[in-house]
Structure 1
Amino acid sequence: MSADVTGGEALVAALEVHGADTVFGIPGTHNLPIYAALAGHGIRHVSPRHEQGGAFAADGWARAGGRPGVCLTTTGPALLNAATAAAQAYSDSVPVLLVSPGLPVRHPGRGNGYLHEVKDQRAALDAVVAYSHRVTSVEEIPLAVAQAYAAMATGRPRPVHLEIPLDLLDERGPLHLVEPVPVPPAAPGAEQAEAAARVLGDARRPVIIAGGGCSGASAELLAVAERLGAPVVTTANGKGVLADGHPLAIGAGVHHEAVRDLVRESDAVLAVGTELSPADLWIGPLTPGGPLVRIDVDAQAVITNARPDVAVVADAALALRAIGDRLRPAPPASGHDRAAAARSAFAAQARTEGAAYLGLVSALAQALGQDGFLVGDSAMACYYGALSNLPAHHPRSFLYPTGLGTLGYGLPAAIGAKLARPDAPVVALHGDGGIMFTVQELASAAQLRLPLPVVVSDNGGYGEIRDEMAAREDPVHAVDLPGPDFPAIARAMGCHGVRVDGSDRLARSLEEALAADRPTLIHLPEEHAR
């Protein structure tokens, strides 16, 4: 006989069955039955100071930990606060489960002024996630959770929203837990793998572009690259899938002219787990000098932005393994000279683009070592400095809001990443404009006593927009911000706070911050980041 439980208990029991041991959220009037059940199931609850921070933290948890993050909000404004982070997770293919109450089952369809009432809350979230579903009974809740986890494990991982009418959270009903559904990765068709291997095997100057969809296929990517003797360049989300230092590794950042030249002179291009999106390419699409082979788990993405000569719709690891098995091994050190030339051109362009941040990047590389994670905001120090200049040694080591380009991502996502990977060095990197979007999460990090360095590179406002205004010969205005005392803000929230005036001092501060008893905000005026 099944147990008789409240809707809140049914939700928490279903989350526990699916391996959720950490939830990011804020209690509110309408979600209290969920909180009543949390304590009895041993699920750790982390309290952000804003729901957007909670959903960003769930995103960082998912990226660094390799499994879905969970964010719990209450109705109306709380859930809408989390919507920006949900949209960021959608754009970067990150599995995050958002759970919220909804208005009562029999709430009037056109509204009556109920507390936290939104015209159509489910539809609002449905616009920015893979899907948003409203359950209609206590008995349905475990099934809806199982369906959400199955959806996040099938094909392209993207966020899901579950809405539970608030009256169901206290209502009692039978508990029928649904065990996690085994979802085997999608295998490639033999004909597609054969066609891809034939095109790539006939090439004399192949190149590989690897994106975030290749993060779970690092070993398979390496094997194919070495069999082809193919240089490998990655997108921002693919950074680290081939460790920098390997003779075939070019670097991360497909917007550089060196990458365009490499792709143009290649007689075959293999693109794995990347949208080849405008957000990555910056100045327009690439022009392959030969056939394009694309591997993607998403059948729509594989034909978007660039039409492939061969499309392989499958899990990246399985597809690369199938293709690699059909390739002849290349001679030892094949492609190394070509990769070295491309890497030299790439590095020169990356250093020029990131010249203002090379000292900062050097200090970060020293602090992070081989095992660290850099969590960046949409800031000049990240996309001009760290993206193409910071060495990466393992997949998912560079967490960055690529697709949506959200300001405020770095600090809360770094909290999630550090909780998911407590033994690894984690550093957040922000600009002075973006940090103010989520600066309140310093209080959350302080409460957790995380040894988390938060570097704020300060250029006095919205530096990128300032430069764009000037480039357009528009009036430059509304972009200069009077800087607050960032270290004092940090100290007021229970963190350490320091100001540094050079990369040598920054390196020491990072080392101290990683060993500290709480977070440390490190304020770095941009003129000292060189």
Structure 2
Amino acid sequence: MTPPRISGGDALVRALVAHGTELVFGIPGTHNLGIYRYLAEHDVKHVTPRHEQGAGFAADGYARVTGKPGVCLTTSGPAVLNAMTAVTQSYSDSVPVLLISPGMPLRHPGRGNGTLHEVRHQSVALEAVIGYSNRVQSVAEIPLAVAQAFAHMTSGRPRPAHLEIPLDLIDTVEKASEVPPVLVAHPPADAVTIAAAVGRLNAAVRPGLIIGGGAKGAAEEITALAERLGAPVVATANGKGTFSERHQLSIGAGLHHKAVAEFVAECDVVIAIGTELASTDLWNGPLKFPGDLIRIDVDPAQMITNALPDYRLVGDAQATVTALNQRLGNAKTSEDATKRAERWQKLFRKHARAQGAPWLPLVEAMQEVLAPGAIIAGDSAMACYYGTLSNLPLEGPASFLYPTGFGTLGYGLPAAIGAKMGAPDRQVVALHGDGGVMFTLPELATAAQERLALPVIICDNGGYGEIRREMVDRSEPVHGVNLPGVDFVKVAKGLNCHGLTVDDEDKFAIALRKAFTADRPTVIHVMGDLAGA
């Protein structure tokens, strides 16, 4: 069959649809209008955030919750650079997001000529930061480039990708053949290494599991593995909820607590699944493994980074854990294993509650209202990493969306929008501090436009509380961190949202419950002791 003659914009949207894209987050601009004209024609839903960084964070939240690549569409120059922070966060946390932007024309002068949105080496800049950028050279190449980008994002360790289309190609009409999606295999680790690991696990007396973000596709299999081994489980921030925190073998989420280091030291075998074991999770230095360490990771390089394992199972988490379960046989969770888990739970909770004490009334009120499967989209805020991470039990993969590795501010609200668009039947909450929320506060207008029943909790401690604390700890002058108060309720109403201020847990619980059934987003401005101030 003769390939049809279509424009570059049409070829792009057709290729996205062929790869299952149903939703795009982006902002129209002069250079990408030839793409936008085809979104509606091909029934692709579009959401317009108020800033390109918000578009990238929304695509990230969507990808984490659905397991499918999120798509962010910007125009060239400042727009794609605005989105760079978001896709760098996606890179850091291994999230598949496709960032699409126009670029300068094919024959644009090497030193530039002052064209609108001109950036020298835009694609090179993205390549340097996220490791993958492809600038196409013809309309015919666009379907291939989309297929290559999706293959990159869905094979091995998930990572974002950037696709640049020279602006003169977007309206150029040429022949373009469809390129079907690549069927990506997700194999287990090699059989010899699995057999060796099974032999060691069969001899284990005090096994334990550490699960990270790379484990979220293997929730059922990991639950079966923990029960077969009678192994208590701890999770990283990105692994939180993959193993239900209401399970009798769950110790909790957050590797930085003293109890986790002590638990790991007590284990004769630890299985670490889909985790970097990085300082952004550990905070207090690397874990020591006096017993044997079994690592399961799809990334061979990560397998030997931060901790050298005794058994290296390079493969897909779900497939590899399935293979382990098949060889290990029947479950052997015993009363002794349950008592061992309870002992570590108590110690973990003691440490977590001590660290999160200022936010416990808030967390307990949230726990009262949230349904099973609820999603918390948190910012890099004290209420998140001291409060909810280790003190709010969640269940279900991708139930805690948090900017762990890169540590951006402003992530929670736009990520919550993306999560709610991807999982409309699940409760979704955005949780921020009063400093970080200002980075993406205009995205309230986006959530209102989409009529999302989204609670947006803003814990107000008068500025950048964590940095203020660090200044005090260093016995240095406190400056630049105390911010004038913002009337978030007035801002919310001005952006067509509901809004109210609360200062005790009973009023907060009532407000949160009501927000889940509202006709639009609700900003809950938390003040006083309830905010950890």
Query: What's the counterpart of residue 33 of structure 2?
Result: 32
8 A Cα contact 1:155 1:186, kept in partner: no
Cα distance in structure 2, aligned partners of 1:194 and 1:344: 34
Greater displacement, 37-46 / 122-131: 122-131
Partner of 1:377: 379
Map of 1:283 onto structure 2: 284
Give 1:179 shift: 1.1
Q: CA deviation at 1:232?
A: 0.4
Give the distance between the partners of 1:502 and 1:128, measured in 2 at CA: 43
* Counterpart for residue 297 of structure 1: 298
Alignment correspondent of 1:365: 367
1:347 aligns with 2:349: yes
SS at match of 2:35: helix
Tell me what 1:315 maps to: 316
| Deviation for aligned residue 1:177 | 1.1
**Structure 2: where are the runs of 5+ without partners?**
none
Q: CA deviation at 1:325?
A: 2.1
Question: Pairwise mapping of residues 3-402 of structure 1 onto structure 2 (< 5 A)?
Answer: 3-329=4-330, 330=332, 332-402=334-404
Answer yes or no: is the 8 Å Cα contact 1:368–1:426 preserved in 2: no
Post-superposition shift, 1:67? 0.7
Match among 496, 504, 507 for residue 506 of structure 2: 504
Report the secondary structure of 2:328's partner residue: coil
1:473-512 matches, within 5 Å, as 473-512=475-514
Deviation at 1:219, TM superposition (A): 1.1
User: C-alpha deviations, 1:372-411, integer Å up to 9, x for none?
Assistant: 1111000000000000001111111111111111100000
Distance (Å, rounded) in 2 between the aligned partners of 1:503 and 1:420: 30
| Distance in 1, Cα, partners of 2:92 & 2:200 | 31
SS at match of 2:484: coil
Q: Which residue number in structure 2 is paired with residue 455 of structure 1?
A: 457
Provide the C-alpha distance between the structure 2 equivalents of 1:95 and 1:59, rounded to a whole number of angstroms. Answer: 7
Asked if structure 1 preserves the Cα contact closer than 8 Å seen for 2:237 and 2:253, the reply is yes
Q: Contact conserved, 1:186 with 1:297, CA < 8 A, in 2?
A: no
The ranges of structure 1 where at least 4 consecutive aligned residues each deviate by more than 3 angstroms after the TM superposition are 331-334
For 1:30, what is the secondary structure of its paired residue?
helix
Alpha-carbon distance in structure 2 between the residues aligned to 1:56 and 1:317: 26
Out of 406-415 and 174-183, give the one that drifted further.
174-183
Shift of 1:59: 0.3
Task: Identify which range, 60-69 or 316-325, moves more after superposition.
Answer: 316-325
- Does the 8 Å contact 1:502/1:529 carry over to 2? no
SS at match of 2:408: coil
Any idea what SS the aligned residue of 1:128 has? helix
CA distance in 2, matches of 1:95, 1:477: 38
Could you tell me how far 1:245 is from its partner in structure 2? 1.8
User: C-alpha separation between the residues in 2 aligned to 1:384 and 1:437?
Assistant: 21
Residue type matched to 1:260 in 2?
A
How far apart are residue 501 of structure 1 and its match?
Answer: 1.3
**SS of the residue aligned with 1:326?**
helix
Tell me if the contact between 1:243 and 1:393 (Cα under 8 Å) persists in the aligned partners. yes
Q: Distance in 2 between matches of 1:171 and 1:334?
A: 70
Which residue identity does 2:185 align to in structure 1? P
Q: How many residues align?
A: 530
**2:511 counterpart SS class:** helix
> Is the partner of 2:95 in helix, strand or coil?
coil
Taking the aligned partners of 2:81 and 2:234, their CA distance within structure 1 comes to: 37
Equivalent-residue separation in structure 2 for 1:258 and 1:235 (angstroms): 14
**Counterpart of 2:439?**
437
**Deviation, structure 1 residue 369:** 1.3
Q: In 1, are the aligned partners of 2:456 and 2:521 still within 8 Å (CA)?
A: yes
* Counterpart residue type for residue 350 of structure 1: A
Residue identity opposite 1:308 in structure 2:
P
Counterpart code for 1:56: F
Q: Which amino acid counterpart does residue 5 of structure 1 have in structure 2?
A: I
Cα drift, residue 332 of structure 1: 3.4
Distance 2:476 2:491 in 1: 34
For residues 130 and 526 of structure 1, do their structure 2 counterparts lie closer, same or farther at Cα, with a shift above 3 Å needed? farther
Q: Give me the whole-angstrom Cα distance separating, in 2, the residues matched to 1:396 and 1:333.
A: 30
Tell me how far 1:334 sits from its aligned partner: 4.7
Cα deviation for residue 432 of structure 1 reads 0.2
Does the 8 Å CA contact 2:460/2:531 hold for their aligned counterparts? no
Measured in 2, the distance between the counterparts of 1:146 and 1:449 equals 33
Which SS does the other structure have where 1:197 is aligned? Answer: helix
Q: C-alpha separation between the residues in 1 aligned to 2:511 and 2:149?
A: 42
Q: After superposition, give the CA deviation of every residue in 1:115-172 in whole Å (9 maximum; x if it has no partner).
A: 1111110011112223001000000000000111111110011100000000000100
Give, in whole Å, the separation in 2 of the partners of 1:499 and 1:53.
25
Q: CA RMSD in A?
A: 1.0
Quick check: 1:359–1:529 contact (8 Å CA) kept in 2?
no
